[in-house]
Structure 1
Amino acid sequence: MKRSLFIILGALCFAIAGKAQGSDVSVQKKNTDYSFLNDTVEAVKDSMTFEQRVEMINRMKLKQDAKLLRFEAGITGGFCDANESSYMVELTFAYYPLTYAGVSCGIEWNDNHGDRPLIDRYDDDEYDPKRVIKINLTPGLAFRTPTLWLSKRRAAGLMLHCEPGLCITPFCNDKVTFTEIKDAQGVGHPASYTDELYGNITTRNVRNHGGKWLAWRIKSALTFRSGDVFLSLGWLTSDFNIENGRNNIRYTKGKRYNGIEKYKHTNTLFASITGQF
């Protein structure tokens, strides 16, 4: 009887141990399955993160390339129309503390070329009393619009620029040497070549007074942008007149030396190239 009980207890212990071992194997297998599944999910996550990261880098690069920087510098050239034609060349600089608004300044050379066409060349020692050269300072405000991109790659785009400001002429009063002939009433008139041959002339050396040194101006442009380089075509209007420095030079008891009684505003068609940094 005791022997039978011992055999039965041994069999039960063996069965319990086997079941426990089988349970451990099942749990281990189950854990292995979960581990494989987790590894697969992590791999998918890593793959998606990499793709998103590449896309994010590309977007950041495009955004960086398309970014408007704070500083601009460039050169402008144009043809001016007022009482007389002239040309201008201007070196410009702008600072934008805000993305689309800032301040600007420039140095402008303005030349009417006297009696000669604008494309003719002057000798260094040649004096033309009708030639006027002005150097102007041009401080102002600067505004620009967001870029209208012409492609998804943002390789090229269009913008608008506008710069309302001032035109300051430091040396506004000209000094002119000219000849005149007086009539019977003592009124001076321009001397002709024949008058000069006969010597019936008076030579005068006169400096102007009360010249206009301050004027307003508005500069607007359509800009083509490629990266950090801007190419602009625009229009400038101002009440500056290159002859303002001769407004009070007159023939004796007569008309103004330059023959202008009413000064027109100056309108300029210009082109410019500018870089941002």
Structure 2
Amino acid sequence: MCFAIAGKAQGSDVSVQKKNTGYSILNDTVKAVKDSMTFEQRVEMINRMKRKADTKLLRYVAGITGGLCDANECSYMVELTFAYYPLTYAGISCGIEWNDNYGDRPLMERYEDDEYDPKRVIKINLTPGLAFRTPTLWLSKRRTAGLMLHCEPGLCITPFYNDRVSFTEIKDAQGVGHPASYEDELYGNATIRTVSNHGGKWLAWRIKSALTFRSGDVFLSLGWLTSDFNIENGRNNIRYTKGKRYNGIEKYKHTNTLFASITGQF
């Protein structure tokens, strides 16, 4: 009985010794490989590992977008954007957009602080949606720059969608008011009237697509945005007399926007 136990214990020691010897051989092999690497090879390995970490797509992206819009009237937009990618190439996005037609004036022309222009329309929109991106097509072996495609289908929500407009009018012989001309205002025959819109459009769809240049964690994009949002949607039912629309637009066009953006991931 004692011989059997001793034999078993001795067998266990041999097994452990063989196992430890196996680990020792493996560690010695790894150490030998490391020792055989030159200094330059080690630096290259470290740089390769660093590049792999730097080229990884992260979950959070934020940036700013600016664009020129074309519909019934020209306007410009500025949008602050944020996206979250729970999956590498798919996520959700949201943004807040400022849209301004600048009253049909040149963009370089300045407005005075107290100046009122009834033709000027400003809209603030919320833009939730989905976010999709493609893998990076690297332009060099060192992966310092690459190209991607982005697409964000979503919604355009306008919280304050019914406009109020103040304009000058003149009444005819029957007492019916009509928008005043410059001559009427000049001779002092005009009065100021304020009317409100009703039944404005507050919800629209939009699709935002872009070609993106990537360098590290910075993304520069040039793209196209199309939507059935129209900056004049909040004036579709402003009527001044006999059912006539104040702005006179019968058909609202879709808005197409050429934009550029800069974003960063973190």
| TM-score band, normalised by shorter chain | 0.7 to 0.9
CA distance in 2, matches of 1:88, 1:268: 9
CA distance in 1, matches of 2:16, 2:86: 66
Q: Using a 3 Å threshold, how does the CA distance of structure 1 residues 47 and 170 change in structure 2: closer, same or farther?
A: same
Superposition deviation, residue 117 in structure 1: 1.4
SS in 2 for 1:83: coil
- Gapped regions of structure 2 (runs ≥ 5): none
- Gapped regions of structure 1 (runs ≥ 5): 1-11
Superposition deviation, residue 180 in structure 1: 2.5
Q: Deviations over 1:98-156 (max 9, x none)?
A: 00000000010000011421221111110101100010000000000000000000000
Aligned residues: 266
Superposition deviation, residue 182 in structure 1: 4.4
Deviating more after overlay: 25-34 vs 141-150: 25-34
CA distance in 2, matches of 1:47, 1:133: 68
2:184 matched residue in structure 1: 195
Superposition deviation, residue 38 in structure 1: 14
Q: Indicate conservation of the 8 Å contact 1:187/1:254, yes or no.
A: no
State the identity %: 91
Deviating more after overlay: 36-45 vs 206-215: 36-45
Q: Using a 3 Å threshold, how does the CA distance of structure 1 residues 150 and 25 change in structure 2: closer, same or farther?
A: closer
CA distance in 2, matches of 1:19, 1:190: 109
Q: Using a 3 Å threshold, how does the CA distance of structure 1 residues 48 and 252 change in structure 2: closer, same or farther?
A: same
Superposed CA RMSD in Å reads 8.1
Superposition deviation, residue 185 in structure 1: 6.5
CA distance in 2, matches of 1:267, 1:185: 44
Q: Using a 3 Å threshold, how does the CA distance of structure 1 residues 47 and 123 change in structure 2: closer, same or farther?
A: same
Computing the radius of gyration over CA atoms, which structure comes out larger, 1 or 2? 1
CA distance in 2, matches of 1:75, 1:161: 15
Superposition deviation, residue 256 in structure 1: 1.3
Deviating more after overlay: 94-103 vs 27-36: 27-36
CA distance in 2, matches of 1:141, 1:170: 20
Q: Using a 3 Å threshold, how does the CA distance of structure 1 residues 248 and 15 change in structure 2: closer, same or farther?
A: closer
Q: TM-score, normalised by structure 1?
A: 0.80
Q: Deviations over 1:158-207 (max 9, x none)?
A: 00010000000000011110122345666654311112233443432111
